[in-house]
A and B are shown apart, each in its own frame.
Chain A
Amino acid sequence: MMTKFLSRNRHTVQRLGFSAITVMALFTVLPIIGTITFILVKGGSAISLDFLSGFPHDGMRAGGILPAIVGTLYLTLGTAFFSVPLGIAAAIYLAEYAKENRWTRLIRLAIINLAGIPSVVYGLFGLGLFVLFLQFGTSILAASLTLSIMTLPVIISTSEEALRAVPQAFRTVSISLGATRWQTISRIILKEALPGILTGVILGLERAAGETAPILFTGAAFFLPQLPQSPFDATMALPYHLFVISTQVPEMPIQIQYGTALVLLVFVLTMNVIATVIRSRARAKRQW
């Protein structure tokens, strides 16, 4: 009887199906909205000019988080400095120059595996290579390099995809007009792929900005009385600071913890919004 009902009322069935899917979609959004609201409610009261521009004092139980904000900014910029040129160059090689052979398959396999490595392993690797072997010490430099390695797979694969999405016909036409391969890439392909590349770069950096484990042994400081002066100084950073004040400091006022979390969240979400805006603008302007 049920099957008879279903077969006779296709529109009802369709409506039921759509409603079910909509409900499920809502469920997936709920945790995100929940987290943001929760942190906003709990930490909103901590946000003030002093909190954003002051140093922590009283064993970090009072004062601001400026050194952690500045530190995360430095680490993000440092990561960008290393990973963006290298990542885009690798993507150009893979998308535009490399022939499909065993060698490029190996490179691709390495990139995929690099993306799957737990972040704490990167931290240990960075400690071994940059901090100890290359003697950069626990520093912004060592931490940025470690974060760069972790970010590279994201940047390479999204950039490669963005380059490949540019129609092949542009390349053929440009070459037929007497352009070299590099002229074609630099004048047409990169420009068309740029929004996609930027999106990937921002998403990669966003992940780097929020990571704790890779900087734990390579550059993060528990507490510093002043801002870092050079790339060879250690630095405080938002995610690590959050970890510290949530687990290592007894009798920590809860709104400082949530305030810090809120700042980190806003930092990362802002990057996300920028990426989204770039993407949608480019899509509207795209000529293919």
Chain B
Amino acid sequence: MVDKITIENLSLQYSDGTESLRGVTMGIRQNAVTVLFGPAGGGKSTLLRCLNRLNDLTEIKSSTGRILIDGENILDPKTDVIALRRKVGMVFARPVPLPMSIRANITYALELAGEKRRSKLDEAVERSLKLAAIWEEVKDRLNDPAVALSGGQQQRICLARVIALQPQIILLDEPTSGLDPISTGKVEAALLELKKEYTVILVPHSIQQAARTADHAAFFLTGELIEYAEGRQMFTTPKQKKTEDYIMGRFG
């Protein structure tokens, strides 16, 4: 097993003084689900947003450290962020289908990337919708507006939209927080499929979900990485007192 991503001493502070990261160092494995969990404000989302440089949209006071993906420091100002974001896809907490058809939602990023061939686009639509476990539900109405779908379906469309770009890393920021248990189950099942091909980093919406999905788990508290271990070990025999307290529900 190799580390796809290496985070070295990463610190970050937002201009408005909210959630920040303090000296985070960790490696993230390829073809595995790595879960980042902990109470709100711990820095999980911030870390995700560093990995695809989405933090560029936010005012940042200071940031130091390095993030190496395949050995390249993506925080370098010379990084091609467009290429980076095609390589590192992201699914957000609230499903946000773009105001267009289901099909156009999937092909949007591909067309921006320069793919014009109809056959390639159709292929990508089918492949990614299947991987996101939504193909059977929408294959007959690809031209309907994506907002007409239910929340759970929308979120899987958003997942398919990311898969269509054939990224190497998929970031998911509480992707099931607004979904019912059945939809959640479908998304989680899709994640298990996905990790065969991709590196998956998930901020779960509950500890149960963390325990269900994690190959590796990292516990964050107020911007610091408290404990990082294999999922099974983390949720049965955590080493740190703080981790144990959190998992046992003593604070949150």
Show the binding face of A for B, using Cβ within 8 Å: 167, 169-180, 183, 187-188, 191-192, 286-288
Complex partner residue of A169 from B86, B96, B162, CB under 8 angstroms: B96
> Are B86 and A192 in touch, CB under 8 angstroms?
no
Query: Chain B contacts of A187 at CB under 8 A?
Result: 108, 112
> Are B99 and A170 in touch, CB under 8 angstroms?
yes
> Are B147 and A169 in touch, CB under 8 angstroms?
no
B103 CB to closest chain A CB (Å) equals 15
Complex partner residue of A176 from B89, B99, B112, CB under 8 angstroms: B89
Given A169-B92, A172-B92, A287-B145, A177-B109 contact (CB < 8 Å): yes
Restricting to B47-91, which residues have a CB under 8 Å from any CB of A? 52, 54, 57, 82-83, 85-86, 89-90
Query: Chain A contacts of B85 at CB under 8 A?
Result: 175-178
Given A192-B99, A287-B145, A179-B94 contact (CB < 8 Å): no
Give chain B's interface secondary structure class. Answer: helix
Query: Chain A contacts of B108 at CB under 8 A?
Result: 174, 177, 179, 187
Distance of A175 Cα from B96 Cα, bound (Å)? 13
Query: Chain B contacts of A287 at CB under 8 A?
Result: 99, 145, 147
Query: Chain B contacts of A288 at CB under 8 A?
Result: 99, 147
Looking at B57, B82, B86, B99, which has the most chain A CB atoms within 10 Å of its CB?
Answer: B99
Complex partner residue of B86 from A174, A178, A286, CB under 8 angstroms: A178
Complex partner residue of A175 from B54, B99, B158, CB under 8 angstroms: B54
The yes or no answer to B40 lying at the interface (CB within 8 A) is no
Residues of B in contact (CB 8 Å), total 24
> Are A178 and B54 in touch, CB under 8 angstroms?
no
Give chain A's interface secondary structure class. Answer: helix
Distance of A94 Cα from B89 Cα, bound (Å)? 29
Distance of A172 Cα from B98 Cα, bound (Å)? 11
> Are B161 and A177 in touch, CB under 8 angstroms?
yes
Question: 3 closest A-B pairs (Cβ-Cβ)?
Answer: A177-B109, A287-B99, A178-B86
The yes or no answer to B33 lying at the interface (CB within 8 A) is no
Distance of A180 Cα from B85 Cα, bound (Å)? 11
Query: Chain B contacts of A176 at CB under 8 A?
Result: 52, 54, 85, 89-90, 92
A271 CB to closest chain B CB (Å) equals 27
Instruction: Give B160-182 as 1s and 0s: 1 = Cβ < 8 Å from A's Cβ atoms.
Output: 01100100000000000000000
> Are A175 and B57 in touch, CB under 8 angstroms?
yes
> Are A169 and B109 in touch, CB under 8 angstroms?
no
Distance of A173 Cα from B54 Cα, bound (Å)? 10
The yes or no answer to B248 lying at the interface (CB within 8 A) is no
Distance of A216 Cα from B182 Cα, bound (Å)? 70
Distance of A5 Cα from B30 Cα, bound (Å)? 76
> Are B113 and A178 in touch, CB under 8 angstroms?
yes
